[in-house]
Amino acid sequence: MVAAHRAVLPLRFLLVVLFGVLVLFQTMSLPGQFAHMAREDPEFAYLRWPATGVTVFWVLCVQVVIVSTWKLLTLVKTDRIFSEDSLVWVDAIVWAVAAGGAVLLAVLGYVGLNANDPGLPLLLFLLSVGVTVVGLLVVVLRALLRQASALRADLDSVI
């Protein structure tokens, strides 16, 4: 557990950096990129706002995962990770991954039906499988955390 405590500070630093970069993407880069694409290719200009909304939503989902991870790190630091409090934050991660994955599947369906080339639908399919794997992995880890929390509660009641 000592190694985990030593990893908390650098991980928190990197989470802050990642969150800050994502805010920049959300507010400047993504809207600017889609505005530029609409000017350069007017045939697809109608996709500017839907594409902006979807990508900003995906960034928001990642930000929810970052905040939840921060809260879980706080529970690790205070040695309360094996408690019911942690399940709330793991559930937030599960819901964020599920919401992002559902929107990704909708985008895959739209792009797949309108694509002339299989490259983008294949990439979106690969991303969908990856997001699904991550989501299911978090669900399994949640179950393990619940088991460990129950064992810890049992152990605390015996002592």
pLDDT in tens, the chain (159 residues): 677 778 899 999 999 999 999 999 999 999 999 999 999 999 989 999 999 999 999 999 999 999 999 999 999 989 899 988 999 999 999 999 999 999 999 999 999 999 999 999 999 999 999 999 999 999 999 999 999 998 888 887 887
Residue pair 142/89 in contact (Cβ under 8 Å)? The answer is: no
Copy the structure tokens of residue 19: 């969150």
pLDDT value of residue 26: 95
- For residue 60, give the amino acid letter: L
pTM exceeds 0.95 for this model: no
Compute the distance between CA of residue 71 and CA of residue 68 in angstroms, rounded to an integer: 5
Whole-number pLDDT of residue 130: 98
pLDDT at position 1: 61
The per-residue pLDDT for 65 is 98
pLDDT value at position 32?
95
pLDDT at residue number 4: 75
If 0-12 CB within 10 Å is exposed, 13-18 middle and 19+ buried, where does residue 48 land? middle
pLDDT at 84: 87
